[in-house]
Chains A and B, each alone.
Chain A
Amino acid sequence: MKVETRKFVAKTGNEAAAFAMKQINPDVVAAYPITPSSEIVMIFSKYVADGEVDTEFIPVESEHSAISVCIGASASGARVITATSSQGLALMHEILYIASSMRLPIVMIVGNRALSGPLNIHCDHSDTMGSRDCGWIQMYCENANEVYHTIINAVRISEEANLPCMVMMDGFIVTHGMEKVFVLEDEEVKSFIGKRKPLYSLLDVEKPITLGSLTLFDYYLEYKRNQLEGVIKAKKIINDVFEEYRARFGINVPSFVEEYNIEDAEIVVVVMSSAAGTFKEVVDELRNKGEKVGVLRLKVMRPFPYEILREKLTNVKVVGVMDRAETFSTMGGPLSIELRAALYPLSKRPLVQSFVFGLGGREFGIEDAMKVFDILKDIGMKNKITEEYIYIGLRE
């Protein structure tokens, strides 16, 4: 079925996420509400209350317990989903590593939000960027429609890769923004995700397992290498699952990157999540003036698709990398640092200018995106990077 002929509904990102969860009808959902993703669990609670799902819903006393419950349930063979943001994700941090090292499929929906301090409830990526090395798959969505479809794919990816998987959307911008979401039929979702087939389960009491044992210097290194193998294999799984989805339902959600006018582009902005939309607008405008500009939206931060980025950016003259998070490395945000590292082995590589923007929900508009391209054009002309990284929209 083509997208145009599909049923669409108006939904916010949170509503779209909750609706996907309803269609998935997971075995266990454990969550502790936190702004701006609270609504996901609130809406889902109503589905439970109305008997529209028969999920075991565990409204825990903290995010730390939410992820702990998810681990217990996933290790017992259940299909598990949770949702969180910011401080909630930070409170889960210790347990995130354990979930991935146990190779447990769990889907977590995250409404990206700044981390304290100072306290701020609005969007940036400091929360999930802080979790990017926890061994989870991380997928950043541009809009509510993509959130909906990505969650459904994430169930399959997570279970096939035996890795937990985060699906991100920008707090308030997407979590609370009403958008057009093309939805699948319940049956389509059901047939696509199938049933979870766990490799082992704590509830298989005839075959007892010991999970989470103490592992010392004689095995820990091998353990981590094995875990890495799992993440490497996940790349193909991510690709294959999305490909199958696109083929079956005619809905074009990107797997790793979204390319926008980059074929012949001399200047490309690499950006994640909702700000990509702003850049696409500006690219349209600049293309009308005959400028060779484009946008490469990175969807998957973990595993980092460096192969694709190398291939797509090798012939570009200037690349601008947009980070909605600070690392305090004094050399830019996390994406720009990784992208520079990814491009370094190339003999022919672009100039890379790093930008930080939108922290704590700071507005990022058309003029800001235009300014980014102006700076990049200037760099192109001078053929030189002079500033390590630039804050966009900073009041000085």
Chain B
Amino acid sequence: MKRILSLKELAERTVGLASGHRACAGCSFPSIIRMVLGSSDYPVVVSNATGCLEVVSTIYPYSAWPCSWIHVAFENAAAVISGVEAAYKALKRRGEIKEDKKIVFIAIGGDGGTYDIGLQALSGALERGHNFLYVLYDNQAYMNTGIQRSSATPFGASTTTSPAGKSSFGKIQDRKEIIEIVAAHKIPYVAQASISHWGDLIRKLRKAYEIEGPKFISIIAPCVIGWGYKEDETVEIARLAVETCFWPLYEIEEGVYRVNYKPKEKLPVKTFLLKQERFSHLIGRDDLIEEIQKKVDEKWEKLLRLDGLKVF
């Protein structure tokens, strides 16, 4: 097992998004990408789905990426990285790449490119067992195209295609359980993480880089514009998601569930919801907040029951 890096060590690593990218002030994914790239001891090849991250970091003729990087389309990041990894295997077999040359392959997508249109390519790549890490930055809507609902959008959130109104309280469906869907592929490693708990995130990344086969890490990615909060509150919002157990930190390694963080005092989900514009219509709707609390509690209790259990 590789040691967790200290923040200082991480900061000293030169890899990471270059400054000058055009992400919104307060956006969470520059931090996510710096941790993803900085945590690797090996050279990295990234396949990036279409979305905010790709759009803000590679406006021709500039690129903020310090590593080999490819973007093809919205729904196929996992298939593209499958091809890169296949080429690596083939060229290694033929002696074109040295036997001991380790390269880490990473596909990165937002919730649209992962939960929705990209789910098929992701499922295919996981089933085939390619050696890659899929990083999901989950901002819970199609942020790049104007904050439309996705299947990652939580119950009760207002988006431009599930707006709260006189006869609507926002999205009426629950989020898709992407972690469980991915885990059902019986891949070696699946985890959920947050930049607010960076030690846990880096540990998960560094663990994933050492495991052969498909790995999946879902990272909560608060969005200033889409969620509606002040630019300097991103990490705080992510922290509240964890402390309220709205976004539990857990992992499934070789089929064994492990809850990585149990808040000393589980905060009511209201403290997370009402800091954001997308839930502001819930003020005065205690019935709905209670319903959301119930969903959060049920999921959390289920996770605690599963903790330590081998499920596949």
Residues of A within 8 A of B (CB): 27-28, 30, 54-56, 58-62, 64-65, 68-78, 80, 94-95, 98, 202-206, 208-216, 219, 223
Contact = CB atoms under 8 A, between A and B. Distances in A.
Interface of B: 43-45, 47, 54-55, 58-61, 63, 65-73, 75-76, 79-91, 93-94, 96-97, 103, 120-121, 123-125, 127-128
A204 to B, nearest CB: 7
B68 A202 contact: yes
Among all A-B residue pairs, the 7 with the closest Cβ atoms: A72-B83, A61-B124, A76-B87, A68-B79, A205-B43, A213-B58, A210-B63
A203 B120 CA distance: 26
A148 B280 CA distance: 65
A28 B61 contact: no
B91 A30 contact: no
A83 to B, nearest CB: 16
A77 to B, nearest CB: 6
Contacts of B83: 28, 30, 58, 68-76, 78, 80
15 contacts: A58-B128, A59-B128, A60-B82, A68-B79, A68-B80, A69-B79, A72-B79, A77-B87, A78-B91, A80-B87, A205-B67, A211-B70, A214-B58, A215-B60, A216-B60
A212 B91 CA distance: 23
B86 A64 contact: no
Given A75-B84, A203-B68, A203-B97, A61 B103 contact: no
A70 B80 CA distance: 8
B103 A203 contact: yes
A29 to B, nearest CB: 9
Nearest to A61: B124
Contacts of B47: 72
A336 to B, nearest CB: 33
B120 A73 contact: no
Contact of A27 (B55, B81, B91): B91
B81 A72 contact: yes
Given A68-B72, A78-B86, 12 more contacts: A27-B87, A61-B123, A61-B124, A64-B79, A68-B79, A71-B72, A98-B72, A206-B43, A209-B69, A210-B69, A213-B58, A213-B60
Given A205-B43, A208-B66, A56 B86 contact: yes
B80 A203 contact: no
Nearest to A64: B76
B43 A58 contact: no
Nearest to B77: A68
B84 A204 contact: no
Nearest to A58: B86
B87 A203 contact: yes
Contact of A212 (B44, B71, B87): B71
B37 to A, nearest CB: 11
A55 B76 CA distance: 22
Contacts of B63: 210, 213
B106 to A, nearest CB: 12
B45 A214 contact: no
Contacts of B61: 219
B71 A64 contact: no
Contacts of B82: 30, 58, 60, 65, 68-69, 72
A73 B43 CA distance: 17
Contact of A98 (B45, B67, B73): B73
